[in-house]
Amino acid sequence: MSGVLSGYRVLDFGRYIAGPYCASLLAEFGADVIRIEKLAGSEDRWTTPVNDDGIGALFLQINRNKRGLTLNPMKPEGREIVKKLVETADVVVANLPPQGLKAMGLDYDSLKAIKPDIVLTTVSAFGHGGPYSDRVGFDGIGQVMSGSTYMSGSEDQPVKFAGPWVDFTTAMMSAIGTLVALMHRKETGEGQMVEGALVRSALTIGNAALIEQAMLGINRKPTMNRGQTSGPSDIVPTKDGWFIVQVVGRPLFERWAKLVGRPDLIDDPRFADDLDRGNNSEILSEIAREHAKDKTTNEVLAEYAAASVPAGPLYTPQQTLDDPHVQAMGFLQDVEFPNLPKPAPVASAPINLSKTPGGIRHRAPVLGEHTEEILGELGYGADAIAEFRDKRIV
């Protein structure tokens, strides 16, 4: 299956999530993506292992559709291979600090000297332009520095979100930036550098709270799952589980008030608009809890659906996998991998295109799986490749 990006080659020197998932999105739509790892495998290959070989769950997700090459770019012969690869490439993805890029010859000036129209997509923790530019960091750094973690817990216990939303947001934005750079190159023949940054992504997602603080100096305190600028907005217990209710805007509030048997709330001045309802959200949460306490989650959700009030069940990961809508979408695709006990449910790109859809064409590569194939495409013969292996170049 070809794609709209067929004919483009991407070199993925990324690690962990933001860089590799950016490259994975490009691969989803047809680009030839070569994942380049250390000889022993990059760290993210072994994170959260799911089989006896130690292959990581996240690696299976964010490295599908790629070919795998092992390489030591710090040795002279390795640098020569990098040069030959760059000569064939359109994009280089590398989420490394600036000093790491320069040491590996992957900084923009070095790449441009090899291929003037190359697009370099980098991801760092803090981005350029500030005193933290050279610091390293992970997803959680962006979460806690953006204010989002503070607002997600309680005053006594901040709570970081378990999923790496900063990494994935950065990857998606970097993929968009890469596509824009390729469009610009098509028009002008010029390459450029695309830079994503974890903290910038986190500040983007939390920007509304920052704007409110800057404008009003309101100094909000965290309220766990309960919303502060509308209501009811909370995670509510039922007889056998939990569900979330999210009411924004007066029409939804009126429907919810009738649903819980409290039409008197509609004309109550404490709940006149979203901000008033947010300021008095604990009262609304208590009413929601009282309404749901003797019902099952399914019973409550059926009532909310009939009234067209947004609500959804709180799932464990297994319940998510078992949900009939999740299954019917076909979004999680069963992908085989050597020595897995069964196919892995890998998420495809979270967007559908009617004319140029993407898709998972093949699984993530085992370590160095396509090394001979890729080096052969660069003109290296079997003897040269064998010598590279003896010298621990590949």
Which pLDDT value is given to residue 107? 94
Which pLDDT value is given to residue 293? 97
Alpha helices in the chain, H assignment, sequence order = 18-28, 57-62, 76-87, 98-103, 108-114, 139-145, 148-152, 165-188, 198-205, 207-216, 250-259, 274-279, 281-292, 297-306, 317-322, 324-329, 371-377, 382-390
Which pLDDT value is given to residue 163? 94
| Residue 212, token pair as written in the block | 């409110």
Query: How would residue 102 be classed by pLDDT, with cut points 50, 70 and 90?
Result: confident
Q: What CATH number has the domain bearing residue 23?
A: 3.40.50.10540
Mean pLDDT, rounded, of the chain: 95
The answer as to whether 224 is a domain residue is no
Which of 98-112, 284-298, 379-393 bottoms out in mean pLDDT, i.e. has the lowest?
Answer: 98-112
State the average pLDDT over residues 124-128: 89
Which pLDDT value is given to residue 118? 98
Same domain, 300 and 343: no
State the average pLDDT over residues 354-377: 96
Nearest CA-CA partner of 74 in 50, 32, 105, 33: 105
Neighbours of 222 (CB within 10 A): 17
Active site (annotated) includes residue 12:
no
pLDDT at 330 over 80: yes
Please tell me the distance from the alpha carbon of residue 101 to that of residue 106, in angstroms, as a whole number: 5
In this predicted model, what pLDDT tens digit does every residue of 267-289 receive, in sequence order? 999 999 999 999 999 999 999 99
In this predicted model, what pLDDT tens digit does every residue of 239-267 receive, in sequence order? 999 999 999 999 999 999 999 999 999 99
The answer as to whether 325 is a domain residue is no
Beta strands at 9-12 and 32-37: parallel, antiparallel or unpaired:
parallel
Q: What are phi and psi of 235, to 5 degrees?
A: -95, 120
| Residue 221, token pair as written in the block | 């305190």
In this predicted model, what pLDDT tens digit does every residue of 176-227 receive, in sequence order? 999 999 999 999 999 999 999 999 999 999 999 999 999 999 999 999 999 9
Where in the sequence is the domain holding 20, given as residue range(s)?
A: 9-205+330-391
Same domain, 254 and 386: no
| Residue 359, token pair as written in the block | 């898709």
203-211 long-range contacts (CB < 8 A, ≥24 apart) are: 203/146, 204/169, 204/173, 205/146, 205/148, 205/165, 205/166, 205/169, 206/146, 206/147, 206/148, 206/151, 209/147, 209/148, 209/151, 210/147
**Residue 7: CA atoms inside 13 Å, Cβ hemisphere, count?**
3
Query: How would residue 1 be classed by pLDDT, with cut points 50, 70 and 90?
Result: low
Same domain, 241 and 94: no
Q: What CATH number has the domain bearing residue 297?
A: 3.30.1540.10
Which pLDDT value is given to residue 234? 98
Percent of the chain with pLDDT over 90: 94
The answer as to whether 217 is a domain residue is no
Give me the torsion for CA of 324, 50, 173, 99, rounded to 10°: 170
CB contact at 8 A, 127 and 95: no
The answer as to whether 106 is a domain residue is yes
Query: How would residue 100 be classed by pLDDT, with cut points 50, 70 and 90?
Result: confident
Percent of the chain with pLDDT over 70: 100
| Total number of domains constituting the chain | 2
Same domain, 167 and 286: no
Annotated active-site residue in 12, 90, 167, 234: 167
